[in-house]
Amino acid sequence: MPKKKNKKAVKTKEIKGQLGKKKETAREKMIGQSIGYRYDVNLLPDYSKLTPFLKKYIEAMGWDDLNWLEDVHMGYEDDRPAVFCRNANGWVTIPKSIKLPNNQQDRDMIARELLVKFQMSPKHPLVDLKKAYLKF
> How far apart are CB 78 and another protein at their closest, in Å?
12
Task: Quote the CA–CA distance of 31 and 28 in Å, as a whole number.
Answer: 5
Segment near another protein (CB under 8 A), from 9-17, 74-82, 111-119? Answer: 111-119
Rounded (5°) CA angle 76-73-77: 10
DSSP-derived 3-state class of residue 85: strand
21-50 binders of another protein (CB under 8 A): 27, 31, 35-37, 41-42, 44, 47
101 binds another protein (CB under 8 A): no
For residue 3, the number of C-alpha atoms closer than 13 Å in the C-beta half-sphere is: 3
9 binds another protein (CB under 8 A): no
Q: Which CB atom, from 19 or from 66, has the smaller least distance to another protein?
A: 66
Task: Quote the CA–CA distance of 43 and 32 in Å, as a whole number.
Answer: 26
20 binds another protein (CB under 8 A): no
Task: Quote the CA–CA distance of 97 and 41 in Å, as a whole number.
Answer: 25
Which residues here bind another protein, judged by CB under 8 A? 27, 31, 35-37, 41-42, 44, 47, 53, 56-57, 60-65, 67-71, 86, 88, 90, 95, 98, 114, 116-133
